[in-house]
Amino acid sequence: MRSEPLAGGERPIAEAAHGQRIGERELIWMMALLMACNAFGIDSILPALDHLATSLGAQGNSRQFVVGVYLLAAGFGTLVPGAFADRYGRRPVLFTALGFYIVLSLACAAATTFPQMIALRALQGFFAAGIIALPPAIIRDRVGGDKMARMMSLIFVIFLLVPAVAPSIGQGVLLLLGDWRWIFVAMAVLGCVMSAWVYVRLPETLHEEDRQEINVSVIARNMRSAVTLRSTIGYTLASALVFGGLFGFINSSQQLIGEAFGAGEKFPLLFAICAGCMAIANWSNSRIVEHVGARRVSHTALFLFILVAGLQLWFANQPDETLWTFVPLMAANMSLLGFIGANFGSIAMQPFKHIAGAASSAQSFLRMTTGALLGAGIGYAYDGTARPLALALLVTATTSLLFVLYSENGSLFGPPEPDEED
């Protein structure tokens, strides 16, 4: 990564508040940690789900709704910020989302019943959705093509360090302070830190000539174009499906690893290994994608994902499956997601330079709602074994391949895209 301003296809933006232009390295860290607020809101609570369920009277698999409802509400929430960000700018909408994230994190810490917690988590996911939808639009304001894929891969490297350590942080807070409520306080603190950083260092990235009207027909037209163009819709739906499988793993991971496989207190470490493998893969992707091309890399990874998912299903149907077959295969597929997610997202955003906010919102909506619903269904199908998860991973990945084939008119492994000049 370079610390100086971007070059080669960059669309110049304003300077930061104190007169210095933000460099690529800082921008990548900032966007990654903004998105990581969302990941921290999901993964830090995983080790405490049993304690939370006992405290608030939740039964059985219903504890998973603390995660599932947040993801689903965030999916619906992503429809809102993009259109406003295309009219009023990225900064005001981003601050609004961070404000809701902070306040509702504190409200969750004060919840006294399980239905109250679910309602607050739904509100938190919905109103904080801007921290999910806006980073891709901010990056798209500056670059496109395989260069965007490289930057998004680097963002995901940092972003995925948070899921890797969040369960350990959650468990540490639980052991140190003895109450799951302090985990939500930690979420609020993270939101405050990010708000201060964005306020001081992030300039407005929306170009004046790209401002859109707040008009229902204009918004609908922009969003419709983002999710109906044949060359991109297959990639949006494909990423929704493969990440739906990932959400299914996240929803059921504490029960599957901690209880079914008897890992207990080793759960945060094993979860960190899986997430860490995904981070390493994203870093590797950032090193090769501009040379090899987002399509070649992601298509190859998708075929390998299907193969590994098939092995997962075979082992899951054996009567003696152990933790030591499940974790390596799950880590392998999470690694392959590192070569799929950022590339699919960048390909889907490529045609929408002038409506990046609306496009990011519409595509994030499809990804998040589809992924969250699939993830909730997969997690709730947990039966004490890895079979439901393994079957879901194989089916979603195979279906994703069909969607990609649709967008590519049956032709895979396309060449790299040249940097665009503005």
Residue-wise pLDDT tens digits, 30-41: 988 888 888 888
Q: How far is CA 111 from CA 46, 63, 117, 172, 319, in A?
A: 17, 15, 6, 21, 41
Which residues does 90 contact at the CB level (< 8 Å), separation at least 6? 134, 137, 138, 141, 202, 204, 205, 206, 357
How many distinct structural domains can be found in the chain?
Answer: 1
Please name which of 33, 288, 275, 6 lies closest in space to residue 149, comparing C-alpha atoms: 288
Q: Which of 28-32, 79-83, 99-103, 141-145 has the highest mean pLDDT?
A: 99-103
pLDDT surpassing 50 at residue 2: no
Per the CB < 8 A criterion, the answer to whether 385 and 260 are in contact is: yes
Six token digits for residue 265: 């207190």
Give the pLDDT confidence score for residue 230 in this predicted structure: 86
pLDDT digits (tens, 9 = 90+) for 344-389: 888 888 877 777 777 877 887 888 788 878 888 888 888 788 888 8
Q: Which of 152-161, 213-222, 245-254 has the highest mean pLDDT?
A: 245-254
Rounded CA-CA distance 215/87 in Å is 10
0.75 exceeded by pTM: no
113: left (phi over 0), alpha (psi -120 to 50) or beta: beta
Q: Is residue 1 part of a domain?
A: no
Q: Is residue 413 part of a domain?
A: no
Query: Which 3 state secondary structure label does DSSP give 137?
Result: helix
pLDDT digits (tens, 9 = 90+) for 400-421: 999 999 988 888 887 666 555 4
Residue 8 burial (C-beta neighbours within 10 Å; 0-12, 13-18, 19+): exposed
Q: Which long-range contacts link 307-315 to residues 24+ away (Cβ below 8 Å)?
A: 308/332, 308/333, 308/336, 309/245, 309/333, 309/390, 309/393, 309/394, 309/397, 310/394, 312/386, 312/389, 312/390, 312/393, 312/394, 313/387, 313/390, 313/391, 313/393, 313/394, 315/386, 315/390
pLDDT surpassing 80 at residue 26: yes
Write out the residue range of the structural domain in which residue 49 sits: 24-407
Q: Is residue 412 part of a domain?
A: no
Six token digits for residue 39: 């990941």
* Per-residue pLDDT band at 144 (split at 50, 70, 90): low
Q: Is residue 337 part of a domain?
A: yes
pLDDT surpassing 60 at residue 14: no
pLDDT cut 90: percent of the chain above it: 23
Give the pLDDT confidence score for residue 130 in this predicted structure: 86
| Selected residue with higher pLDDT from 144 and 413 | 413
Q: Is the dihedral of CA 337, 81, 46, 28 positive or negative?
A: positive
Per the CB < 8 A criterion, the answer to whether 19 and 206 are in contact is: no
* Per-residue pLDDT band at 116 (split at 50, 70, 90): very high
Six token digits for residue 357: 């906010």
What number is the average pLDDT over the span 120-140? 87
Q: Is residue 3 part of a domain?
A: no
Give the pLDDT confidence score for residue 85 in this predicted structure: 83
Q: Is residue 397 part of a domain?
A: yes
Rounded CA-CA distance 279/96 in Å is 29
Residue 289 is which amino acid?
A: V
Give the pLDDT confidence score for residue 379 in this predicted structure: 81
Give the pLDDT confidence score for residue 7 in this predicted structure: 35
What number is the average pLDDT over the span 185-203? 92
Q: Is residue 6 part of a domain?
A: no
Quickly list H helices, 20-113. Answer: 24-43, 49-56, 65-77, 81-88, 90-109
> In whole numbers, what is the pLDDT of the chain averaged over residues?
82
Give the pLDDT confidence score for residue 6 in this predicted structure: 38
Please name which of 103, 362, 371, 58 lies closest in space to residue 244, comparing C-alpha atoms: 371
Q: Is residue 414 part of a domain?
A: no
Give the pLDDT confidence score for residue 182 in this predicted structure: 92
Give the pLDDT confidence score for residue 11 in this predicted structure: 52
Give the pLDDT confidence score for residue 20 in this predicted structure: 58
Give the pLDDT confidence score for residue 272 in this predicted structure: 79
Quickly list H helices, 338-418. Answer: 341-349, 356-380, 387-407
What number is the average pLDDT over the span 69-95? 84
Taking residue 418's Cβ as centre, other Cβ atoms within 10 Å add up to 11
Give the pLDDT confidence score for residue 15 in this predicted structure: 53
* Per-residue pLDDT band at 306 (split at 50, 70, 90): very high
Which CATH number goes with the domain that contains 117? 1.20.1250.20
* Per-residue pLDDT band at 64 (split at 50, 70, 90): confident
Per the CB < 8 A criterion, the answer to whether 283 and 217 are in contact is: no
* Per-residue pLDDT band at 422 (split at 50, 70, 90): very low
What number is the average pLDDT over the span 330-347? 86
Q: How far is CA 168 from CA 123, 179, 272, in A?
A: 26, 15, 8
Query: DSSP secondary structure string, 263-299?
Result: -GGGHHHHHHHHHHHHHHHHHHHHHHHHHH-HHHHHH
Q: How far is CA 379 from CA 7, 254, 373, 386, in A?
A: 44, 11, 10, 10
